[in-house]
Amino acid sequence: MPTPATPRRDWLRACLCASAWTAWRGAWTTGVGSAALGLSTVPLAQAQGMVSGKLLSLRDMIDPIVAGARVVPSGVHIETLILADNGLSVPFRVWVDSPMTAQDHVTDLWLLSQRNPVTVMAKMHLGPHLGRAEFSTRVRLAGGQQLVALARLSSGEFRYQVADLIVTEAGCVDGS
C-alpha cells in the first residue's frame, strides 16, 4: 500500500514488476492433451471470451488428413506459451516419442490451427535420418485458439496433441 514514505510511483512499479515476473514464470508450459486425460475442459480461448470467428473442432482439423486411420492422442508433446502477447510470432516446439529407425519413425508432422484462415500451418516430412522427431519454429496466430500437432508414423498410425493458447493481439494484420 502506498504510504507517505513510499511514493505511489514506487508502489506501482513494484506491483508491475511482481505481476510481470509471475506472468513470465508461468507463461511457459507443456501442452496437456485434454483428450488424453479424458477431461472435457473448456478451451482457454472460450473461457476468456475470445471466440470471435469460427473455431474448428478437433475432428474438423484432423479428419481430412487422417482419412479413417487409427488416431491415438498420446506420444506427441508440445511446448509453447500459455499466453502470447503478440500473435505474429509465437514460439512452438513439438516432439514425438519415436526411435526414428528405418523400421519405426515419424514420416509426417502437421501443425493445425483452429482459428487461422489457413488450417494447415505447416506440413513436415521427416525420416530416420533426423535421429529425433523434434521440430521448433514460430507460428502466426489469429487469436486465442487450440493448436494441434499431428504426427503420422511409418506404421500408418497417427498421433496427436492439443495445445491451448491465449493470444492478446491477433497476428493477421501486420506490415511484415
Partner 1 sequence: METGYLLDVNNQRIARNVINDMRCTYLGQEVFRIEPSSGLSANPYVEFFLRATQTGEIAIDWVDDRGERGQVKRTLTVV
**Site of interaction with partner 1 (CB under 8 A):** 88-90, 111, 113, 116-118, 120-132, 134-140, 171-176
Quote the CA–CA distance of 33 and 55 in Å, as a whole number.
18
- Min CB(69)–partner 1 separation in Å: 20
Mapped onto helix, strand or coil, the DSSP state of residue 144 is: coil
Give whichever of 36 and 124 is closer to partner 1, judged by the CB atom.
Answer: 124
Least distance from partner 1 to the Cβ atom of residue 54, Å: 16
* In the complex, least distance from residue 137 CB atom to partner 1, rounded to whole angstroms: 5
Strands of 34-119 (E only): list them: 71-72, 76-81, 83-86, 90-96, 106-113
Whose Cβ is closer to partner 1: residue 13's or residue 138's? 138
Instruction: Give me the residue label for grid cell 506490415.
Output: 175
Nearer to partner 1, 10 or 60 (CB): 60
Burial of 158 (0-12, 13-18, 19+ CB in 10 A): buried
41 and 47 in contact (C-beta within 8 Å)? no
CB of 135 to partner 1, least distance (A): 5
67 vs 173, beta carbon nearer partner 1? 173
